[in-house]
Amino acid sequence: MMNNNYTNFWNDIQVNNGVVDDDFVKPKVDYIALAGYRRAIANFVNIVTNRSDIKVRYQKNGDSYTDGKVVTIGSKIDEKNFDHVVGLALHEGSHILLSDFNFLRQLRHNTPQELIMVGEDLGYSENQIVGHLKNMLL
């Protein structure tokens, strides 16, 4: 059996002598990983829209949506749900690519008053009716 005396120098580094590492506590949020996840998600949005001017905003909870210029992701991002958040981002990016935002902005003005009245008779407000129409169209 061969004795490698030269490698013993490096083996001393791996011995935990309690001087440096005992007090290390893993942070609750890995900010480097989070920055990487956010950068990757923004890249996916740029790829699906074929545009580099789309901004991506993040909030820890709430709805995910877009106005055609900004994608807002309403979800916690970590390694466990990264694929789901990418799916949300791609979904919202697809809205930018495929939705007619001018039509949606004018939806209330283009909705027949009779339809608004039927919805109000059922107990919905005008804003709720227009919101439901938008959801059906998207």
C-alpha span between 90 and 32 (Å, rounded):
23
Angle of helix 126-137 relative to helix 113-121, nearest 10 degrees, comes to: 110
C-alpha span between 39 and 80 (Å, rounded):
17
Task: Write down the domain spans for the chain.
Answer: 26-99, 100-138
pLDDT in tens, 71-116: 999 998 988 899 999 999 999 999 999 999 899 889 999 999 999 9
Domain 26-99 CATH class label: alpha beta
Higher pLDDT, 33 or 26: 33
**Half-sphere exposure for 72 (CA within 13 Å, toward CB):** 10
pLDDT at residue 78, as a whole number: 86
pLDDT in tens, 42-66: 999 999 999 999 999 999 889 999 9
Residue 127, judged by CB atoms within 10 A of its CB (0-12, 13-18, 19+), counts as exposed
Q: What percent of the chain has pLDDT over 70?
A: 82
Segment of 2-11, 77-86, 123-132 carrying the highest mean pLDDT: 123-132
Sheet holding 65-66, edge to edge: 55-59, 70-74, 65-66
CB 71 within 8 A of CB 96: yes
pLDDT at 1 over 60: no
